[in-house]
Amino acid sequence: MDFDSFVLAAATADLSEAEAEAARDHADAVEFRMDLADDPLAALDDYDGTLPLIVTNRAAWEGGKAAEEGRLDALETAVGYEAVEAVDVELRALTGAADTDAEEARALRDTAREQGVSVIASVHDFEATPTEPALRDLLDTAAEEGDVGKLAVTASDRADTLALLSATFDATAAGKTVATMAMGEAGRHTRAVAPVYGSRIGYAPVDPTKATAPGQYDLATLSELVERLETPNRP
């Protein structure tokens, strides 16, 4: 998947035809939350949508629902599907900071790249926004470990959002490919504004009642907001 320009992803655990059709009107890709799906590999078998897929099997220790056993194996199977063009792997898994096998995560990264699948190295902080120097370090490390460094933090005020946008701008200016957003109501606007500062991926649910993270706009709304801001990175 080409992240040289902004990609708006419809976040969902449902790859049915109806959901795919609804996403196609506004999205550039679909983020398939395997950890929230009942039978994710069967859903991938049946998928015949036109949008490329980003597959995510979020670990329970990073806010998801996937048990650790078999989690990365399922992702490795998923990257073999033609429709899958990017895979999300937690930075903590890749660096060994989590209680998991870093070698297995790195092997998944190698397999994905061999298949021509981009790797998103992701970081999620559901409690706070780190200091600006820490944000810069996290983005640098994530961008080094993956083809895209993704950072989602929780903002409590405008100072938090300003720090995130500043770190995003600086990382992009340094030639790194990053995706950033602040979760929660205080950071909600960053989902529309961060692309102006260089963020390359946005996430939104087709159905606003099925948000996969705090503070998400629905897909149609986020698409319109990004368009209105006339983001130069958007195709």
In a domain, 157, yes or no: no
Question: The CATH number of the domain where 59 resides is what?
Answer: 3.20.20.70
Task: Tell me the percentage of the chain whose pLDDT exceeds 70.
Answer: 97
Report yes or no: 207 and 218 within 8 Å, Cβ to Cβ: yes
In a domain, 52, yes or no: yes
In a domain, 80, yes or no: yes
Model-level pTM greater than 0.75?
A: yes
The verdict on whether residue 71 carries a ligand-binding annotation is no
Tokens representing residue 133 in the block: 């120097």
* 65 annotated active-site: no
Per the prediction, the chain carries an average pLDDT of: 93
Statement: residue 235 has pLDDT above 90: no
Active-site pick, 150, 176, 189, 210: 150
The residue with tokens 């500043």 is: 166
Tell me the angle at which helices 102-114 and 71-78 cross, rounded to the nearest 10 degrees: 10
In a domain, 158, yes or no: no
In a domain, 168, yes or no: no
Residue 3, pLDDT score: 96
Domain tally for the chain? 1
Of the ranges 14-23, 54-63, 90-99, 201-210, the best mean pLDDT one: 54-63
Residue 233, pLDDT score: 53
Task: Tell me the percentage of the chain whose pLDDT exceeds 90.
Answer: 85
The verdict on whether residue 209 carries a ligand-binding annotation is no
In a domain, 37, yes or no: yes
Q: Which of 54, 52, 27, 32 is nearest to 43 (CA)?
A: 32
The verdict on whether residue 115 carries a ligand-binding annotation is no
Average pLDDT over residues 110-125: 98
Residue 230, pLDDT score: 67
Bigger pLDDT: 133 vs 19: 133
In a domain, 99, yes or no: yes
Active-site pick, 124, 176, 189, 210: 124
